[in-house]
Structure 1
């Protein structure tokens, strides 16, 4: 028994993706009972954790700053899959799901993960040090993407409500892709040094080995990553009715569905960021946080815009007044935090309080 437990503990990331695929094949197209819903949800969480684990292995193989980019893109693929599957299954009831999920991802990354990384780094070294040039460029890109995609729809007049017209949605999608593409080029080709840790420690990204994984292991992780992503998208579609009914039974507003999705998807990213901060690599933590926020908008909005061709009903992207206040405060506080290139416990706590305010208002608007 002990040998079996040790085997499963050591090789969980290899076992979970095929197990998730089996669960998906057994439950596809069936109505889930309470017990089956719990099992499918557990398989979904495991598939998400396995997907990001294998993305992290591949990221370690290619090194920084490509590593943070791979992690962010993998997480965004999961997020897009969850959003699209829920929107397809819910129809017009999910008109604001993309907005709620993307905004939740921005708040979680720019305040939750950002603040936690600074807090852990400051507790370890009294002052968390990072590169203000690269971090500032990332924050500016996130702020621009969020404003173009989530704020402007509230004020446009071509369509009634916080909705883009088809041409406006196409412009926002193209602009998001262009900005994200330019940022990736700057991060990986033109100015990669701006996104590297200020003080190299020589510790691996995954915190397990000093040397990067072998090519064989990296290729195996690529295959398991793809299998895990298929499992995530399929299981999300299977369990989506249970998620929505659970939110309704708890008396929470519909927007809480987006928060649940974002929290689920970004949990492994949070763990990776905290681990990097504990190794005195706060810059990598901030790369993960802002890179995920950027990818969440820059890739999700174009994907949702394309999917809206087949999804019936309006696509509500415009934020409400409370959400815009939180976004504006996040951008201002983030800029003041980034400019010095160093942060103390205070800056970390400020961002975490903003995150707490977002969660509270999402549950009790």
Structure 2
């Protein structure tokens, strides 16, 4: 990436956002804003990787996951403020889409790319298993249980919603402590040259290993802080531009006769694009553990942080918050959890596992447009 592009693009995005804010973009302006949006997402990836290179794993993945989730929450709350019928289910559709995109699309593509280049890819089953267990609990607690409570409709009562929000925050906080402090070793990339049997796979690659230093020396503190600031600016610009584009997206969905839940899918795809690109790049370097950290961590942050934030916002937002999934979505969620468990437990994966995840992802996309 050119020397000035990482600085110029966020500035251009903010200027475009300010000039277009409050307007209803026509076709021409919508296309221009879409191009700026994509460019800003790519620049956000660059700055996120600079920060990640400085702080190392798993902190880099955690920073990006939390930053993107904050933007996701802002976008959901902003779009839900309109109070139309779809506003009640937008949070559910976006969070579920984020779960499916990360656990099947992002992880499947990363494994497939890594396996095609390196054969069998390896990762820490302990860390990935812990992340998957936490994510599965959050998903079932927040997105499945509302369908089976005595409250009328697929929604929680106020007290149940408060419990789910508090439990989600506690689970996510406990996982962050485990990932970054008590068991950080479980979430580091492993040495792919060490062959072992079932159980813990290989030794973690530390920042002192030659293999990790593939981008040269870590950036200076000043460069890291500058990238962190530009990353935040880029993410804010992304959510603002996405909001401006949302009427065009919703209009296109209606014109094509697609279900309104497709809007949530599109939002999740845009929001998760930076992490998806970072995960694929990590897979190309045979750091599948980093890809798993990004995928599972993003989905976990999406549920563990978004649901509590939306629960609080629902106090003054019009309408009731619907979180319970439909029958088809529950089946896809259950299938994704089972397949992810079978992928993670051995601590190694091949092209087959990547292909299986991607087929489930394709089924999710197809059933989203043709339920």
Q: TM-score, normalised by structure 2?
A: 0.92
1:202 aligns with 2:194: no
Contact 1:277 1:285 in 2 (8 A): yes
Aligned to 1:4: none
* 2:82 counterpart SS class: helix
The range that moved more, 237-246 or 343-352, is 237-246
Give the Å deviation of 1:75.
Answer: 1.8
User: Superposed, which structure 2 residues align to 1:153-302 within 5 Å?
Assistant: 153-158=146-151, 160-199=152-191, 200=205, 202-203=210-211, 209-302=215-308
- State the distance in 2 between where 1:90 and 1:27 align: 23
* 1:310 counterpart SS class: coil
- State the distance in 2 between where 1:268 and 1:228 align: 11
Give the Å deviation of 1:90.
Answer: 5.3
Aligned to 2:198: none
1:122 aligns with 2:128: no
- State the distance in 2 between where 1:52 and 1:177 align: 26
Contact 2:44 2:274 in 1 (8 A): no
1:244–1:90 Cα change, 3 Å: farther
The runs of 5 or more residues in structure 2 that have no matched partner are 192-204
1:13 aligns with 2:6: yes
Contact 2:110 2:280 in 1 (8 A): yes
The range that moved more, 178-187 or 275-284, is 275-284
- State the distance in 2 between where 1:129 and 1:292 align: 20
Q: TM-score, normalised by structure 1?
A: 0.93
The runs of 5 or more residues in structure 1 that have no matched partner are 1-7
* 1:29 counterpart SS class: coil
Contact 1:13 1:53 in 2 (8 A): yes
- State the distance in 1 between where 2:107 and 2:236 align: 29
1:172–1:202 Cα change, 3 Å: farther
1:79 aligns with 2:79: no
Contact 1:115 1:349 in 2 (8 A): yes
- State the distance in 1 between where 2:236 and 2:111 align: 34
1:335 aligns with 2:341: yes
Contact 2:83 2:318 in 1 (8 A): no
1:271–1:226 Cα change, 3 Å: closer
Aligned-pair RMSD on alpha carbons? 1.6
Deviations 1:37-77 (A, max 9, x none): 22222223333333333222212111111111111112212
Give the Å deviation of 1:108.
Answer: 0.7
2:128 to 128, 135, 158: 135
Contact 2:162 2:311 in 1 (8 A): yes
